[in-house]
Structure 1
């Protein structure tokens, strides 16, 4: 989904891996995405409830682990231990996966395509005369929009405006929205490109319908423009882009340039004939038509990035045969990406930029060996490379919007993440990979030790195995008091972290602290009796106390049941806290965690979840009916105890809370 001048998707390439291009449509913020095959992706997620997201926790790790990170003096060190075997990833529910799939990229694309399709249909029925008479101008306008959003200068200006106006003081949801939109500008690029093809077809059909008054040269050039623009778009189909990157880049770029050239020829010829079969000179009229000026701006947007392409000296360090560390002169601000090539125009590859500060003597690119280009960097080290002096901004550049955050990355994806942590002491780095010294080399490891220090966790999978990533991320997020997490990983890693983090609104998970109200507080426990049948037909009965309890550090409450003989004796003068561990169980309406409630009891009991919800409805205190109904996922329609009880009497709880209790 790149432009004629920019060959890779800005959001995806920040992953900083290799010469593959990536499809950011399957990302979501920021951290941005991810989508197909082995392509590294990135996504940005609002994780203000991330410590609630440990849905698939395994048992606690058992191996000692040194945390390479210096916390601020007022921040406690993480009580990390290692788990030698990673937990099995469990796919999230369909709704969560749909939300991640239908990200801002696809929203942009769908909005633009649907809007312009409506315009084409309206014009076809004669209800949109402007579009009917200016279809050529609309085509060029769409191509211009698609090119501009991929222009480095426009992108840098847009990021600068957003980072300057909205940093830190605006609501978190707005800042997340800004990051997501900036990351997924590719949706505008591809949407406008598809729309341009649609308007070209409309314009060409209209010309052939009126071919008696249209010069043959205009018809021929119209067909040529349609073919070149269509093939330029086809070359950017995700399957082609991801599996045949060189074919994609060469065809997309050179066909794109050809499209610009034939568009110029078309508008000149069309203006010369101007709705007739007789050539004339209409220079004055030509200068007053929008097609001319739109074409001028389109050409400038395509040509300008190539005017600051330079051949620069480089030094290449190879810590192993799988990685090349390229050193360039001068420092860079954080969150930028650069394009490099061995030739001036043939093919460019994009990597994240590592720089300790904008005033450093050098900046670096970490290039993992995954294709011909990166393989040759190791086997045949060049002394000079071609690059564009003006770098383009990646979604990491929006890190300045947030007060505190976490960059989590795997392997050579650290190239897109490290600068943020080097240039801001409010960002924490989590790196997961095999043998950091061999992968990153002494130069990059030196930057991490000097610039990040104890704000980093370097997890060596060669020594300790794969971690429980969500547990690691959630605990770090909670202790670091972060606002956002930027993820840079491969497709599978991104799916695991992004799906886990997206499952928000689930108020209680292992490791959460519950604040139990005192017996004298306003939220009183209600005693209820649970009856159930166990193995061999045994009928059992036990008393429980139930109440809505607070999840510490969250503006949330969860319905809690405590077995009578484990209930804190009456008379406790103040609220007290308990931590959810493996002695607790939970029930929920679905695997996404809707309507979750927690139970402290003998985990050997084998009862179904609806026993608790039904008993609660029967013994409910009317003063908390609405809150209980909301906690069980029935929303605000539960205004009275009788209504909720009616649901229980009709067996509704048995239908939606039918599974057996589950242990954390």
Structure 2
């Protein structure tokens, strides 16, 4: 039999031209297809092959994409559940020249045939602005003024400011006499909005109650928007707690004869720590200096909690008539609302740390761009987890890939110091939080038909929906560069063997630059998706979500406000 002719794509992926009578190879192109245009994966002539074959190779749209979905992940250090994610594409630092060109496999083939080269010239493209500048612009400017996150922040702040004004004008005497209690209540609310255990329960109940086909779609999408944006309540209550504590301190200083210098000093220290924590969480500081934010936020919060306990004990035990402290405070504590709220805050903060363990891991990498971290134990679809090389200093959140049987894994793009170290010096052990948390992908189970769109390593959190049964019918659209080369044979096999209506893979190393927004809208309409969920970088997520909404399709992506 005649040996097949081989040629390489622009990204170094090798293909074969097979005779039509030979068995199909998932990475081969029959001779008969060379003169034909590529077809949309939902074409009636398409096979169930996920990766490029005789009928599944598609010509990338000629329209320039506003978002080139190769592997460009700028920062994987984000500590939040929707931003951990896991969500962006890894940066290919070795291909600066090729990033300015759009090359298809057909053009590569014809390059070897110089007689026809003038009819298939490679088009050059202008150099794009720096990725981190685009990312910061999207985070700070392009999200809009009326996102659900900002609405929740505004509502939380307005309610508290209204109560504060009423208290200060004498129309809300209870708040005036218990200003410190309102500050602690706001701290309890913001802790609840970031408690992974509490949110895991809320997400579970939302799916259990609303995951019924007969319920209206608008109710499900409204719930998804709310749960995705609870960080707005967290931030609003954080600012409000500072306002209430400042008001309480002002009242205390006006009546300093009825209090002690120790209570004033502790209150002032709490106020200072809350201000430091809040300023560290300001979006510009947080996204430019994430590690600084994370450590300040954590340790300032812990110190504030310890001082709140000191404040409560001092306040309850202090007798203004004798200007001394009482020894017996047990009964007064039990009847104190501040005490029980602080107990709740303490329990919510401590519980996740009780699940921290140092566990053995297996780290492998197919290239220098990403690593696969394997753990024992199965995990449900849509769940995320946190890992750390040093639990007191930093935590990194990633989507989890699992068939919910014996093991699970994480896919980490090598971009930050920690993720690069996983490739260069694979660890034998890592610290983990054994209680995993639910994020936006988990809400897939609330719907009947969902299109999951991922670029680069964002695919990790969606793979579980292909590996284990789930309530929703899902279609996965993945755009990435050099699937096997950069992500490994194991990931490629997980995406293989599914029906054509279940998985669409666009390898930019083979098929060139796509318009991900147009692909997402087209796939959603063909599949009949109720909702689209996307994990990409800020620009890519914004474009897909906006394009889907413009076509009347509900869409959600990671938010970058908080």
Q: What is the aligned partner in structure 1 of residue 181 from structure 2? A: 137
Residue 373 (structure 1) aligned to one of 400, 413, 418: 418
Cα separation, 2, equivalents of 1:447 and 1:164:
28
Q: Given that residues 401 and 410 in structure 2 are in contact (C-alpha distance below 8 angstroms), is that contact kept between their aligned partners in structure 1?
A: yes
1:337-357 deviation per Cα after TM superposition (whole angstroms, max 9, x unaligned): 10001123221110011112x
Relative contact order, higher structure (CA 8 A, sep 6+): 2
CA shift in 2, pair 1:425/1:150, >3 Å: closer
Quote the residue 1:435 is aligned against: 482
Indicate the SS of the match to 1:319: coil
Q: Is the 8 A contact 2:463 2:494 kept in 1?
A: no
Q: CA deviation at 1:211?
A: 1.3
Counterpart in 2 of 1:544?
none
Give the alignment's TM-score, normalised by structure 2.
Answer: 0.73
1:273–1:415: structure 2 CA closer, same or farther, 3 Å change rule? Answer: same
How much has 1:270 moved relative to structure 2? 1.2
Residues 10-55 of structure 1: CA deviation (Å, up to 9, x unaligned)? xxxxxxxxxxxxxxxxxxxxxxxxxxxxxxxxxxxxxxxxxxxxxx
Q: Deviations over 1:469-514 (max 9, x none)?
A: 23211221111111000011111111211222232569xxxxxxxx
The answer to whether the 8 A contact 1:85-1:465 is kept is no
Q: Tell me if structure 1 keeps the 8 A contact 2:379–2:405.
A: yes
Instruction: Provide the C-alpha distance between the structure 2 equivalents of 1:245 and 1:190, rounded to a whole number of angstroms.
Output: 17
Cα distance in 2 for partners of 1:353, 1:122 equals: 48
1:193-232 to 2 correspondence within 5 Å? 193-232=238-277
Query: Paired residue for 2:298, among 225, 250, 253?
Result: 253
CA distance in 2, matches of 1:139, 1:460: 52
Query: Is 1:310 aligned to residue 357 of structure 2?
Result: yes
Cα distance change of structure 1 residues 99 and 457 upon mapping to structure 2, 3 Å threshold = same
Residues 277 and 297 in structure 2, CA contact (< 8 A), matched pair in contact too: yes
Contact residue 263 and residue 314 of structure 2 kept, 8 A: yes
Q: What's the secondary structure of 2:477's corresponding residue?
A: strand
Q: CA deviation at 1:452?
A: 7.1
| Separation in 2, partners of 1:382, 1:233 | 34
Corresponding residue of 1:323: 370
Give the match for residue 171 of structure 2. Answer: 127
RMSD (CA atoms): 2.5
| Residue number in structure 2 paired with 1:162 | 206
Q: What is the rounded CA distance, in whole Å, between the counterparts of 1:324 and 1:504 in structure 2?
A: 37
Question: Equivalent residue for 1:86?
Answer: 64
Partner of 2:324: 278
3-state SS of the aligned residue for 2:365?
strand
In the superposition, relative to structure 1, how do residues 427 and 101 fare at CA in structure 2: closer, same or farther (>3 Å)? farther
- How do 1:52-67 residues align onto structure 2 when only pairs under 5 Å count? 63=38
Deviation for aligned residue 1:258: 0.6
Counterpart selection for 2:384 from 337, 340, 345: 337
Aligned partner of residue 466 in structure 1, secondary structure: coil
Q: 1:197 to 1:388 in 2, by over 3 A?
A: same
CA contact (8 A) 1:84 1:464 kept: no
Matches within 5 A, 1:104-119: 104-119=148-163
SS at match of 1:324: strand
Q: 1:499 to 1:198 in 2, by over 3 A?
A: same
User: Is the CA contact 2:520–2:548 (under 8 Å) kept in the aligned structure 1?
Assistant: no
Gaps of 5+ in 1: 1-60, 72-76, 90-96, 507-664
SS at match of 1:320: coil
Q: How far off is 1:274 after superposition?
A: 4.9
Q: 2-side partners of 1:453 and 1:315: how far apart?
A: 32
1:179 aligns with 2:262: no
- Whole-angstrom CA distance in 2 between matches of 1:374 and 1:79: 33
Q: 1:323, 1:110 → 2: CA distance?
A: 39
Residues 1:413 and 2:458 aligned together: yes
Instruction: Give, in whole Å, the separation in 2 of the partners of 1:70 and 1:390.
Output: 37
Kindly tell me: are residues 139 and 273 of structure 1, through their superposed partners in 2, closer, same or farther at Cα, counting changes over 3 Å?
Answer: same
How many pairs align?
Answer: 433
2:147 matches 1:103 = yes
- How far did 1:62 drift? 5.5
Larger Rg: 1
What is the aligned partner in structure 2 of residue 503 from structure 1?
A: 550
Select the residue among 305, 313, 319 that pairs with 1:268: 313
SS at match of 1:428: strand
Given the alignment, which residue of 467, 470, 491 partners 2:514?
467
* 8 A Cα contact 1:332 1:363, kept in partner: yes
Give 1:282 shift: 3.7
CA–CA distance in 1 between the matches of 2:374 and 2:497? Answer: 18
Shift of residue 98 of structure 1? 8.5
Distance 1:338 1:99, change over 3 A: closer
Distance across 1 between alignment mates of 2:278 and 2:319: 29
State the Cα distance separating 1:334 from its structure 2 match. 0.8
Tell me how far 1:87 sits from its aligned partner.
4.1
Distance 1:282-1:134 versus aligned 2 partners, 3 A rule: same
Whole-angstrom CA distance in 1 between matches of 2:319 and 2:188 = 23
* Matches of 1:225 and 1:443, distance apart in 2: 51
* TM-score (ref. length: structure 1): 0.62
Shift of 1:421: 3.6
Offset of residue 260 of structure 1:
0.6
How far is 1:70 from its partner? 3.7
